[in-house]
Structure 1
Amino acid sequence: MRFPPRPRKSLAGAVLALGLGAAALAPMQTATSAPAPSPVDGVYDVLGKSWGVSPAEAKARLDGEHTKAAAFETAKAQLDGAFFNSERQLVVNVHSARAAQIAREHGLAPRSVARGEKALAKLQSQVQALADKSGSLQVQSIGADLPTDRLQVVLQPGKQSAKTVALVKQLKAISGVDVSTNDTTLTMTADVIGGQIMDLVPGTNCSLGFPGTRNGGDNVLLSAGHCVEGNPMIQNRSGVRLGVGVASRFRTGSPSVDMGLMDIDSNNVGRGYIDNRNGQTTRVTGSSKAPVGSTICKAGNTTGWTCGTITQYNLTVNYGGAGGSVTQTSGLARSTVCTEGGDSGGAYISGTTAQGMTSGGPNDGHDCGWNQGSNATGSYSFYQPVVDAAQYYGVTLTTS
């Protein structure tokens, strides 16, 4: 479910009850505020505590993931998708002996598959067309699952309508498609310092995302589209204006993409790090789409610093909204990171590499706690990959 922006309350209430998303935004600072703290990459401390290892060992594990991901990027033209397995091997799909050899030369684990990432993408387009044509309003999400090499279609909970029953019959006849029913609905999550509150005027809240520049130096912030739909004025927790929403590809009730843009006022500064919400910050050194299975963390104003792994890319999700509206939202990634309402728009990061901004998650009353790292388990979230948003809007992320 999309985490919609929540009504803005008193300042104290706003800090606790943000409206959307799980990821925290990259830090911004007003021209009149104190100097920004130096980033110390606090991601490793919290991950180390979650995993029961030292910060140095946590950093070594993440560095190992990134080294393998870089090797995959070098050889990906010959391969067909990749994911980390439970032994932290980066498994890659291949369709020939030559491709398998290339994978091994790069330290990757090849496996031969019936479909692979490209075929699953084509199958997803076919299934999405059938779902759209069916008229069913009970399809919750459609997306590829690389580890199983199958397409997953998830339905809303509740009794199936006649249109849904007919659609399910069609889908079960297609090789490689799994159909299941979720037990909960989905909802969207709703200074400039990543992970801090994004106070929207009028009346709702999100979390901040990633600052950057475009059009020759214009300072902007990449956010979840539903946070800046309608171009709201945006403040920090102290009521100081940060900027204004200027673009959103999210349209409630219409096929959408959950990416948007805030223009940062000239007297404010976007910073190349995020607030871990634990007294530390983490640098942003670049951006990527890390392989499925990669470790990822997010900073959000409601739940702080929580971590998990990437599970899927290119999902199409149907978010329920006010008045029974349904917003079909495409291009999302899914992770096991726990989020709650008020985290939306916030920043996901793998090590120091930006990954995305919180979009939404299950509306099941779960409690992530605060700053629980990888211990905030039992839930999942959707996020908008930052690479896609930056490319669409022509934004260069601010790094440090």
Structure 2
Amino acid sequence: MTISVTRTRRAAAVGATALALLLGPLALTGGATPLPAAAPSADLPAGMVDALERDLGVPRAEAGQRLAFQADAATKVRTLTQALGATYAGAWVDPAAGTVHVATTTPTKVRGPMATGVTTVTVERTLAQLESLGATLDAAGLPADVATWYVDVPTNKIVVEAVGDTAAAAALVAAAGLPAEAVTLAAAPAAPQTFIDVIGGRAYYINSRSRCSVGFSVQGGFVTAGHCGTTGASTTSPSGTFRGSSFPGNDYGWVQVASGNTPRGLVDNYSGGTVRVTGSQQAAVGAYVCRSGSTTGWRCGTVQSYNSTVRYSQGSVSGLIRTTVCAEPGDSGGSLVAGTQAQGVTSGGSGNCRSGGTTYFQPVNEILQAYGLRLILG
């Protein structure tokens, strides 16, 4: 069996490369249609425009247009997903070029109004087949030297990242019996770690020993990362109690706040303002996303993949969103948004906000469903 060994590379349609660098925990003890040249952005929070320009080089005049495009694209992708059914192999967008790509094993199904403005890519494997291959890796168990696997939709392959040498990833793939042509091995110089360090991105404290960040307000409290606290753990600023926590396997939890605290549907943009949360519709691969956290504030990047499994030192976590957003210890649990749509809470990753990094997020809709919670909208 021969498996290609490469650095993880994103397709040109996505146009973003993740940098895998070291992060550690922090405790209190320590077919393109060009976009118009100018687009209104006056209605966007200044902090969001600043961060998109700083982190992704998005011209300020085009920020509003690009975000509007990706919101429309998310609706189009949802329609394509339903229409293609079992033949669907994923979709991705490029907000800068204004393109929507959909992959399928049966391209003739992309027809009629839903084909307008869509580039169809014919592939060998459906998204369900790729995710099934990933589930096989989960069943085999990720060894300590394997950092993550994820579905790379633009290349129609599973990417398995190992820390440094890819030998451990190759051995896992071989032992799991995955076909060589469906796998890309990638070398990551450091292992992902949880960001043990809240009100949409603002700090909160767990058992007076560690700091994390609030994800999103829900009725009665807020959601955050599961690794931040176990069920029953107490919090301060705001005061509350973890009523549910799942980690590893998942990385989600929810905190019921004490009376006197008022959950609001807002996320701190760390520029003197807030971003209101209007829903939780999933963005497409390639979409711009921004994260709020109590260590590094407001940072932006792009979505690289969904349903990624990550091997932390504490164990594997599955079903995560992989992004190029940077993060650092203490940002854990914080909010990830696409425009004003809630996406997930910060789980962990590698790298930092000085040299770049890869960060993984627990999808917010899964948390809401797991605990029967209702997102509070701004």
Q: Which residue of 1 aligns with 2:93?
A: 84
1:193 partnered with 2:199: yes
Q: How far did 1:104 drift?
A: 4.8
1:335 partnered with 2:323: yes
Q: Which residue among 81, 105, 113 is the counterpart of 2:115? A: 105
Contact preservation (8 Å) 1:212, 1:398: yes
Q: Which residue among 222, 241, 246 is the counterpart of 1:244? A: 241
| Range moving further from structure 2, 92-101 or 204-213 | 92-101
Distance (Å, rounded) in 1 between the aligned partners of 2:186 and 2:113: 33
Contact preservation (8 Å) 2:288, 2:301: yes
Q: How far did 1:352 drift?
A: 0.6
Q: Which residue of 1 aligns with 2:349?
A: 361
Q: Which residue of 2 aligns with 1:294?
A: 287
Q: Which residue of 2 aligns with 1:8?
A: 28
Contact preservation (8 Å) 2:166, 2:185: no
Q: Which residue of 2 aligns with 1:46?
A: 50
Q: How far did 1:67 drift?
A: 0.6
Kindly provide the amino acid, as one letter, of the partner of residue 342 in structure 1: G
Q: How far did 1:43 drift?
A: 4.7
Residues 338 and 103 from structure 1, CA distance in 2 versus in 1: closer, same or farther, beyond 3 angstroms? farther
Contact preservation (8 Å) 2:281, 2:343: yes
Alignment of 1:258-277 (within 5 A): 258-277=251-270
Q: Which residue among 121, 142, 149 is the counterpart of 1:142? A: 149
| Range moving further from structure 2, 289-298 or 106-115 | 106-115
Residues 352 and 151 from structure 1, CA distance in 2 versus in 1: closer, same or farther, beyond 3 angstroms? same
Q: Identity across aligned pairs (percent)?
A: 31
Distance (Å, rounded) in 1 between the aligned partners of 2:188 and 2:307: 19
Alignment of 1:301-380 (within 5 A): 301-320=294-313, 326-362=314-350, 364=351, 366=352, 368-369=353-354, 378-380=356-358
Contact preservation (8 Å) 1:298, 1:348: yes
Equivalent position SS for 1:7:
coil
Residues 173 and 101 from structure 1, CA distance in 2 versus in 1: closer, same or farther, beyond 3 angstroms? closer
Mark the runs of 5 or more structure 2 residues left unpaired by the alignment.
1-20, 31-42
Distance (Å, rounded) in 2 between the aligned partners of 1:340 and 1:309: 17
Q: Which residue of 2 aligns with 1:30?
A: none
Q: Which residue of 1 aligns with 2:40?
A: none
TM score, norm. by length of structure 1? 0.77
Q: How far did 1:102 drift?
A: 4.4
Residues 178 and 262 from structure 1, CA distance in 2 versus in 1: closer, same or farther, beyond 3 angstroms? same
Q: Per-residue CA shift, 1:249-283, capped at 9, x if unaligned?
A: 115xxxx2001110111221101111111111101
Distance (Å, rounded) in 1 between the aligned partners of 2:245 and 2:112: 41
Alignment of 1:21-100 (within 5 A): 41-47=45-51, 49-50=53-54, 51=57, 53-54=59-60, 57-79=62-84, 80=88, 81-85=90-94, 87-100=97-110
Distance (Å, rounded) in 2 between the aligned partners of 1:158 and 1:151: 18
Contact preservation (8 Å) 1:211, 1:222: yes
Equivalent position SS for 2:292:
strand
Kindly provide the amino acid, as one letter, of the partner of residue 83 in structure 1: W
Distance (Å, rounded) in 1 between the aligned partners of 2:174 and 2:279: 45
Q: How far did 1:88 drift?
A: 3.6
TM score, norm. by length of structure 2? 0.81
Alignment of 1:172-187 (within 5 A): 173-187=179-193
Answer 1 or 2: higher relative contact order, Cα 8 Å, separation at least 6.
1
Q: Per-residue CA shift, 1:217-254, capped at 9, x if unaligned?
A: xx121111111225321112xxxx42111111115xxx
Q: Per-residue CA shift, 1:25-69, capped at 9, x if unaligned?
A: xxxxxxxxxxxxxx9734543246433533x53112101111111
**Cα RMSD (Å) of the superposition?**
2.6
Mark the runs of 5 or more structure 1 residues left unpaired by the alignment.
10-16, 18-38, 214-218, 321-325, 370-376
Contact preservation (8 Å) 1:41, 1:281: yes
Q: Which residue of 1 aligns with 2:7?
A: none
Contact preservation (8 Å) 2:242, 2:254: yes
